Structure 1
């Protein structure tokens, strides 16, 4: 159970760092951002608000995973740990995604 709580705290800390990084780098931009570069459909644009919505939804998903991990941990230890690890992986992937958006813009 301690590992699950630690994974929640670390996942939310990574997402908070990502939000701070996005705020510092994207607060100066008033126009549209390049969110995705596609070889076939050119460029997908978005606003800085879209980036923060992505971070918020990721934090919501991490908290839902935490609740599921706590529920599954008492029934089967492996599923709880798997969900906890997936929350950390999700937070790291969102950090990479937001860093890519920042580096493009």
Structure 2
């Protein structure tokens, strides 16, 4: 059989696809870090957050972008901070999870 096959192990794209199938019509809000190697095009500035991680204040700039799929409006809140923009779309999640800097990354994202 010479036909092409595609195999996917999942990831955020699969999670979003499932949410779009199950979510009622309306608005789905998503918060996601901005990666340094992605051209996001024109974005709307939304607000700045001041978040504390390890007792230190971190400023996160938030941008928004909207799209619609299957009558569900997706509002993306894109989070800009050095801990996020130093990452790339091919390696979005830092590892190992035992490093303090990596724990700060996830703490910052979760608090946003």
What TM-score bracket applies, with the shorter chain setting the length? under 0.3
User: TM-score w.r.t. structure 2 length?
Assistant: 0.24
User: TM-score w.r.t. structure 1 length?
Assistant: 0.25
Higher relative contact order at CA 8 Å, sep ≥6: structure 1 or structure 2?
1
Q: Which has the higher strand share?
A: 2
Q: Which has the higher helix share?
A: 1
